[in-house]
Structure 1
Amino acid sequence: MKILLAAVNAKYIHSNLAVYSLKAYAGDPAVEIGEYTINQQKDDILMDIYKRQPDILCLSCYIWNLDYIEEIVLEIGKLRPDMPIWLGGPEVSYDAKEVLRRLPCVKGVMKGEGEKTFKEICQIYRNESEKKEKNVDNSWKKSESVDNRLKNVTGITFRTEENEIIDKPWRPIMDLSEVPFVYDHIEDFEHKIIYYETSRGCPFSCSYCLSSVDKRLRFRDIELVKKELQFFLDHKVPQVKFVDRTFNCKHDHSIAIWKYIMEHDNGITNFHFEIAADILNEEELKLLEQMRPGLVQLEIGVQSTNPKTIKEIHRVMDFEKVSKIVRRIQDKGNVHEHLDLIAGLPYEDVESFAHSFDDVYALKPEQLQLGFLKVLKGSFMQEHQEEYGIVHKAHPPYEVLYTKWISYEDVLRLKGIEEMVEVYYNSRQFTNTMEELEKEYDSAFTMYDRLASYYEDNGYNAVQHKRSARYEILLNYIRLHHKEKEDLFREVLTYDYYLRENAKSRPEFAGEYLVEKDVARTFYEKEEETHTYLPDYGKYDRNQMRKMTHLEYFKLADTYILFDYQNRNPLNQEARVCKVKAGTGQR
């Protein structure tokens, strides 16, 4: 007997921790895993599942893959009407009966936490298979045996052979330390993000989220966690992304983990945590300040700075305290910070959202994620959507279309701003240019809003652009709106470009290259002798150094800048830069 656990991930680099946990807990050699992505053709996934010839098919369902999975399920059901199909995951747990009515080829849904449930189902089908092989009783019928035993399983909703839908209660929570470690064969996860879980549930009750629905927060044994962290460190895993919803909600737990990874740092592995910044205590902050640059990165959900909105979504967040802590962490310059906002929340119109945007943007995080409300099944927000006048898309990810406070036209406007933030802020390719451009506007929101309108007016949104083209577009925008400062912005754009890019050919927007040949030759000849500016380049000759660096003259500042690409900032990958003093052969 073969049981296939199939996961359709958002990207190739993702892995599905859930299916690996189910397989590990079941301990059944008959269980196989198939991982796919939503970027694959559905037919390719369908063919692969069919060729594997599973006896039981189980699929993991989320907002990003449900449409994919439903279509695949309907087709595989035609090809294999004899094969039981089970679904699990948050996207089918809260309306399991409706899922079975919509998908008549599906046998059942595993609701919520699935390890114990999946193990029981595996045992039922294995016993059935063994019975059939031994032909213990010629009068035995599969349907009677399986259905009768499924009636004793909690945490499922299933369909009997008579097409009756039986809805069993949710299963009591399990001890998280009972879940086996799934990465023993780490070689199977090469080029994948490693997801790791040390807690389930959340102490907060945000109305748009499902993590706190069951109110049952629990943690993995800390000694077990340390052992598993050491495994990642020993294998020099590039990144471990903690999926704990609020990692620092239990201070002794977070402190123990941060101490361990700091004391056992291998100089390579990065750890990602989702935290509530305003509950960080002094001990946690001091630990963060001691971290190697790049050892940890923090994702901090702000969502809104409108007090009425924060109260309405049942969120506990002191933005003034968040701001102080975010800036304190930034002052040390060793931790990447990612801040989130959500558009479409109650009591948040465009004016209010613009204020929230400017508040968060002023903190200058490495990433500012502008998302849109998703009305998740089972959430408080779904239950009260009529009260808020929320209308959302009928299909996953159930994104908001409009509310009492924000129109669809407003949503489209914010979508344009979101794209501009992704291109010109989150890419970290225009950092200095955008800081300079901000000086021309009353608010950052207005700046990105006008830039988004420029893109729309010129049809740029419908075109895929090379990186250098984004610089040219921005320079054209500046020519149109800030003509008197074109030369300044050309130089700042050029600086930003070479800060990240050791380009073989000069981009058009940068204009003429002003470093004369004899100046560059003299500089690198002297560097070969003295290594004044490139002390780490002792083993390289002048020609090699020239290829590994870039020398640029900025006319307005009358300054030569050397970009060193072998020494980059571990947080943002910017090249080390230094001013080259006069008297070293330059004009």
Structure 2
Amino acid sequence: MKVILTTLNAKFIHTSLALRWLYVARDAAFDTEIQEYTIRDNLDEVALKLVESKPDIIGLSIYIWNQEESKELVRKIAKLNASIRILIGGPEVSYEYSDWLSLPIEGVLRGEGEISFWKACRQEEEIEGFVSKTVQSEIAYAKVDLRWLETLESPYFLAFDLENQKNRYLYIETSRGCPYRCSYCLSSLDNQVRLYSEEYIMNILKQLEGKSCKQVKFLDRTFNVKPERALKIAKCIEQLNVDFSFQFEVVLDTMNEAMLSFFEHANKERFRFEVGVQSFNQHTLNSVHRVQDLDKLVANIKRLSLAGCILHVDLIGGLPYEDLNSFKDSYTRLFACGATEIQVGILKLLKGTTLRNQASNYGFVYEEGSPYTILETSWLSSEEINVIENVYQATEKCYNNGRIRGTLDTCFQMGYPIFEVMSLLGLKMKEFDGQVQIRDYFLMAFDVLSTMKLSDPLIIKALLNTDYYMNFRQNPKPLFNDEISGEKKKELYKLWINRQYFDEQILYNYGKIRLGFYKNQIMIQTLIYDAKQNYPKRYWFSLEGEKQ
């Protein structure tokens, strides 16, 4: 019998570790293969390819990002060949599944499927976590012994993955489960942490040498749950001869001094940290059972940020007891920490979570379909949710990608209300007519910042110029046209050539002179582009033309 394991990933760059664990745990009696697609693929074509592969069984993995597409895919497969047995599993169907049973599927496998899936393929009678129209397992959520998984072929270096792995993320897990009980998170439903052995993990890491991937992402809900073990793993990663980075989710307020000190001095390009902050409102945190030492958290974010570590920090808008003023305070406090990226999300009421079951208590109105995003709460109107969405868009497009980061950081230090800046900038982006180009973001930022009248517009222009020209590999269209007169430019060119600061031909062919902001004052920046389309080299001069 032939089995196809499949899913619809969010993008090609992603892969499904779950399918690979099922594959290495496969029953040798079945001819098994993996076929992965994305939610952007044509579902008619996907269904046809699957059916033309002539499987007897299809195992389909369901997630929040693909559930609607997966339902449609199931219908299309059944229409093409009703005799194919379809088994589904994954977090989206492990806790609420009744609507899936009306579809042409054989059953739902809740929990970890490395054993239960193959029992279902063999149509055994007692299957942990299995549900169908006629059968429901007494054990609701299947779990497997990680020590047994360690005896299987590694799911991380399968031969059929090697060709495309350099262009994709490699997902690795060193544990399963989460020690915390945050009521908005599915991971809180499995709060018994189980660890793979150190020997197993170290062996996996050492095999990464000589391999290539876009980035290694650890799926552990709390990488530093066991500090000594986590530090050993981090030190092993530091010593690997690889050219890609590693991303972890960490609880930063509990990170001990040994780990903090290590990461302060480690290779900053090797590690990337995901830090859940969610809110600075203590009442809000208490209501969702999130235990967090805010003072330690802030101190550690600032410490690692100052050391140059790459930190991606999260906030969630729409949690209980957080109105717009409270969220504004959370965003402003987090912005002040200086992290590399700020992820602003709107609360999603995931199936199975405690908070979803408490929705009526908090006046939650949310999308019926995935991703179940909050539309309003007892503390936030739909209009205020839109304000947070605008802040998200501006933060992503203008700050996290570094595009206008320097300007925004400096304006914040100068006293600009950063939340209002981002909300107005996000609104301008939303109302923009047409496709937004890089220059458009800067002009919108100038409109927002200059309208606030908190500083000289010339300073704002200089700040924006300082960021703008470093976004291009070729001499771009000027951001502003009225900064330095043609006569002044000729005078400066002549001065710098006479002093042999620049080759005359290079300066005239590849140079650009604009106002900038350096050492807390307006200066002149000279940018030299080149024929190889590298990013420009920048040189600073006083307004009188003296080299800095």
TM-score normalised by the chain length of structure 1 = 0.83
Q: Determine which of 533, 540, 545 is the counterpart of 1:579.
A: 540
- Alignment of 1:384 with 2:362, yes or no, is no
1:13 Cα shift?
0.9
Aligned equivalent of 2:185: 209
Alignment of structure 1 residues 105-124 onto 2, 5 Å: 105-122=104-121, 124=122
1:304 Cα shift?
0.6
Aligned equivalent of 1:409: 383
Q: Determine which of 194, 207, 229 is the counterpart of 1:231.
A: 207
1:480 Cα shift?
4.0
Question: How many angstroms apart in 2 are the aligned matches of 1:397 and 1:582?
Answer: 53
Question: How many angstroms apart in 2 are the aligned matches of 1:509 and 1:232?
Answer: 48
Question: How many angstroms apart in 2 are the aligned matches of 1:247 and 1:586?
Answer: 48
- Alignment of 1:365 with 2:330, yes or no, is no
1:561 Cα shift?
4.4
Comparing 509-518 and 302-311, the one that deviates more: 509-518
3-state SS in 2 of match to 1:216: coil
Contact 2:462 2:522 in 1 (8 A): no
Contact 2:116 2:142 in 1 (8 A): no
| 1:93-126 residue CA offsets vs partner (Å, 9 max, x unmatched) | 11234421x31x011111111111123234x1xx
Question: How many angstroms apart in 1 are the aligned matches of 2:547 and 2:311?
Answer: 40
Contact 1:564 1:576 in 2 (8 A): yes
Alignment of structure 1 residues 111-510 onto 2, 5 Å: 111-122=110-121, 124=122, 146=123, 149=124, 151-159=125-133, 164-170=134-140, 173-179=143-149, 180-184=153-157, 185=159, 186-266=162-242, 268-333=243-308, 335-438=309-412, 443-455=417-429, 459-460=431-432, 463-482=434-453, 485-509=456-480
- Mark the runs of 5 or more structure 1 residues left unpaired by the alignment: 125-145, 529-540, 567-572
1:562 Cα shift?
5.0
Change (3 A) 1:352 1:477: closer
| 1:276-318 residue CA offsets vs partner (Å, 9 max, x unmatched) | 0001001101110121121101010000110111111001111
Aligned equivalent of 1:139: none
Aligned equivalent of 2:44: 43
Contact 2:113 2:142 in 1 (8 A): no
Question: How many angstroms apart in 2 are the aligned matches of 1:213 and 1:454?
Answer: 40
Contact 1:86 1:110 in 2 (8 A): yes
Q: Which one-letter code corresponds to 1:181 in the other structure? A: S
Q: Which one-letter code corresponds to 2:524 in the other structure? A: T
Question: How many angstroms apart in 2 are the aligned matches of 1:38 and 1:524?
Answer: 60
3-state SS in 2 of match to 1:68: helix
| 1:512-543 residue CA offsets vs partner (Å, 9 max, x unmatched) | 78755955994997668xxxxxxxxxxxx986
- Alignment of 1:77 with 2:50, yes or no, is no
Aligned equivalent of 1:25: 25
Q: Which one-letter code corresponds to 2:247 in the other structure? A: H
Q: Which one-letter code corresponds to 2:86 in the other structure? A: I
Aligned equivalent of 1:557: 522
Runs of 4+ in 1 over 6 A off after TM superposition: 563-566, 573-576, 581-587
| 1:196-237 residue CA offsets vs partner (Å, 9 max, x unmatched) | 111100001000111131322111111111111122233243
Change (3 A) 1:481 1:111: same
Contact 1:519 1:585 in 2 (8 A): no
Question: How many angstroms apart in 2 are the aligned matches of 1:33 and 1:520?
Answer: 67
Question: How many angstroms apart in 1 are the aligned matches of 2:252 and 2:526?
Answer: 37
1:19 Cα shift?
0.8
| 1:104-149 residue CA offsets vs partner (Å, 9 max, x unmatched) | x011111111111123234x1xxxxxxxxxxxxxxxxxxxxx4xx2
Q: Which one-letter code corresponds to 1:112 in the other structure? A: G
1:187 Cα shift?
2.6
1:416 Cα shift?
1.5
Contact 2:528 2:536 in 1 (8 A): yes
Comparing 31-40 and 243-252, the one that deviates more: 31-40
Change (3 A) 1:97 1:455: closer
| Pairwise CA RMSD | 3.1
Question: How many angstroms apart in 1 are the aligned matches of 2:110 and 2:376?
Answer: 30
Question: How many angstroms apart in 2 are the aligned matches of 1:56 and 1:398?
Answer: 30
Change (3 A) 1:509 1:560: closer
Question: How many angstroms apart in 1 are the aligned matches of 2:250 and 2:63?
Answer: 23
Contact 2:165 2:213 in 1 (8 A): no
Q: Which one-letter code corresponds to 1:93 in the other structure? A: S
Question: How many angstroms apart in 1 are the aligned matches of 2:357 and 2:401?
Answer: 37
Question: How many angstroms apart in 1 are the aligned matches of 2:9 and 2:478?
Answer: 37
Question: How many angstroms apart in 2 are the aligned matches of 1:387 and 1:323?
Answer: 31
Comparing 171-180 and 297-306, the one that deviates more: 171-180
- Mark the runs of 5 or more structure 2 residues left unpaired by the alignment: none
Comparing 308-317 and 443-452, the one that deviates more: 443-452
| 1:137-187 residue CA offsets vs partner (Å, 9 max, x unmatched) | xxxxxxxxx4xx2x222221124xxxx243442355323243342232333
Contact 2:322 2:379 in 1 (8 A): yes
| 1:464-504 residue CA offsets vs partner (Å, 9 max, x unmatched) | 21112211222233454449733222222121022332223
Aligned length: 531
Question: How many angstroms apart in 1 are the aligned matches of 2:84 and 2:115?
Answer: 22
Question: How many angstroms apart in 2 are the aligned matches of 1:117 and 1:70?
Answer: 22
3-state SS in 2 of match to 1:432: helix
Contact 1:491 1:510 in 2 (8 A): no
Aligned equivalent of 1:532: none
Change (3 A) 1:475 1:584: closer
Question: How many angstroms apart in 1 are the aligned matches of 2:48 and 2:38?
Answer: 14
1:242 Cα shift?
0.5
1:191 Cα shift?
0.6
Question: How many angstroms apart in 2 are the aligned matches of 1:35 and 1:265?
Answer: 30
Change (3 A) 1:575 1:265: farther
3-state SS in 2 of match to 1:232: coil
| 1:406-445 residue CA offsets vs partner (Å, 9 max, x unmatched) | 1222112211221122122112110122123335655321
Contact 1:471 1:509 in 2 (8 A): no
1:271 Cα shift?
0.5
Question: How many angstroms apart in 2 are the aligned matches of 1:563 and 1:226?
Answer: 46
3-state SS in 1 of match to 2:276: strand
Contact 1:61 1:90 in 2 (8 A): yes
